Amino acid sequence: MSIMTKKILIPLDGSKNSIRGLDMAIHIARQSHGTITALVVRSVPGIYAIHPMGFLDFDSMKEVKKIIDNAKLRAAKKGIKLVGKALTGDPGYDIARFSNAKKNAVDMIVIGARGRSAVKEIFLGSVSNYVLHKSKKPVLIVK
């Protein structure tokens, strides 16, 4: 795993499970001398998801920036480079799409088992379950 895992994608939403996932991604990145891309996808209702300007209001952007800045600091303390990205849309779909895009060169996804969504499935969160089944990359789900 350490030889091929140079670029790790970690979806973040600020939940405890996503932070545990970040810690695991940092651990793997340290072993493989890799980098981490933190992806924050803000869920937007229906028609707004396809609007080119997105649907992030000022408060949402402040929260996204805080999540990414905290992740960068956490990774930097362990000597790992972390790049933050933010998208608006459907979290599961956009995480899988981002990971599958060749231009992003993702080697592995590390994702928390459950996030902040109100609707939770029995064993896995709906987002992590979707990513597990739709991503073409290896997925590590952290509880």
Residues of the chain with pLDDT under 70: 1-4, 45-59, 115-125
Q: Looking at residue 113, what is its pLDDT?
A: 87
| Domain at 7-142: CATH architecture | 3-Layer(aba) Sandwich (3.40)
Q: Looking at residue 42, what is its pLDDT?
A: 86
Rg of the chain, C-alpha, whole Å: 14
Where along the chain do its domains lie? 7-142
What are phi and psi for residue 64, nearest 5 degrees? Answer: -60, -45
Its pTM stands at 0.84
What are phi and psi for residue 7, nearest 5 degrees? Answer: -130, 115
Q: Looking at residue 118, what is its pLDDT?
A: 46
Give the residue from 18, 32, 10 showing the smallest Cα distance to 106: 10
